[in-house]
A = this chain, B = another copy of it.
Amino acid sequence: MSRAPKVKVRTPSACATCPIRGRALFQPLSQGEVELVAHFRSEDRVVHGATDLYRQGEPCSELYTLFDGWAFLYKLLEDGRRQILKFCLPGDFLGFQPDLETPRVHSAHAVTDVALCVFPRPNLLHMFGEHPKLGISLTWITAHDQALSYEHLTNVGRRSAKERLAYLLLELFYRAREVTEPDSEGGIFFPLTQEHLADALGLTPIHVNRTLRELRGEGVVELGGRRLKVPDPGALEEELGFNAHLLRPRRMI
């Protein structure tokens, strides 16, 4: 039987009052611009957890704003090895790539049930044609994603397993705290498995587990029961040389 998805819903086309608008793609827009965006948006869509949103090789017909839930982007090698490229949280914009005529270069997967705002590709190009400022927003988002991706590359390429894991958990802790309500103890909802973490960090799940045990033992993180807490984020930030700037969206100009 098909269970009812657990996600936030809202009345369609309610961009003007969208609860995540302050954090989303089109944050710095005026009232009129928001209406323009609402006009080009085609629908809200809900996708169940543990399913793909799109797959590499498919045509690139839509783009999305993640409205609620957790997802990630990933690449698959021929033999099944998987690299997770980015974890997506509410407010993130997914599905853009340099050549929209070309098949998708990576896949996207819903971890939890997920709610999406859907932008059909032709509408999007229209939209940018009619409103250059939206193009600047998109440039900003892409550049921001790239900075994050460079950070991950550095993490995977040049840090030990323990550093990598601590770094990723800290990043996700900060990002999740920005877009969802922490629980009474300051912990966040955290739906990822150790296998997800492994595939993002270039490790095996087994080694993630061992490393996690160390971090827990040192009191650096509390993780379990779909909940994550970093008791002293400041100290960890310091210790890892974590650059929190990269997570704080600011205006480009």
Evaluate contact between B149 and A153: CB separation under 8 angstroms. Answer: yes
Q: Which of A73, A98, A139 gathers most chain B CB within 10 Å?
A: A98
* Complexed CA–CA distance, A184 and B99 (Å): 34
Q: Does A82 contact B (CB under 8 A)?
A: yes
Min CB distance A188 to B, Å, is 24
A169-211 near B? 1/0 per residue, CB < 8 Å:
0000000000000000000000000000000111000000000
CB under 8 Å from chain B, chain A span 68-124: 73, 75, 77-78, 81-83, 85, 96-102, 105-106
* Complexed CA–CA distance, A202 and B139 (Å): 29
Which of B75, B99, B147, B253 contacts A125, CB < 8 Å? B253
Evaluate contact between B78 and A158: CB separation under 8 angstroms. Answer: no
The number of chain A residues with a CB under 8 A from chain B is 52
* Complexed CA–CA distance, A137 and B94 (Å): 20
Min CB distance A219 to B, Å, is 22
Select from chain B the residue with minimum beta-carbon distance to A139. Answer: B139
A7-34 near B? 1/0 per residue, CB < 8 Å:
0000000000000000000000000000
Select from chain B the residue with minimum beta-carbon distance to A138. Answer: B139
* Given A98-B140, A139-B139, A252-B99; A150-B106 close (CB under 8 Å): yes
Q: Which residues of B contact A83 (CB under 8 A)?
A: 153-154, 157-158
Q: Which of A73, A78, A145 gathers most chain B CB within 10 Å?
A: A145
* Given A136-B128, A138-B139, A142-B143; A250-B85 close (CB under 8 Å): no
Q: Does A236 contact B (CB under 8 A)?
A: no
Q: Which of A99, A125, A140, A245 gathers most chain B CB within 10 Å?
A: A99
Selected A-B contacts with CB under 8 Å, 30 pairs:
A75-B151, A77-B154, A77-B159, A78-B241, A82-B158, A83-B154, A83-B158, A85-B153, A85-B154, A96-B143, A97-B143, A98-B140, A98-B143, A98-B144, A99-B251, A100-B253, A101-B250, A102-B250, A105-B147, A132-B132, A132-B135, A135-B135, A139-B139, A139-B142, A142-B143, A142-B146, A145-B146, A146-B149, A149-B149, A157-B200
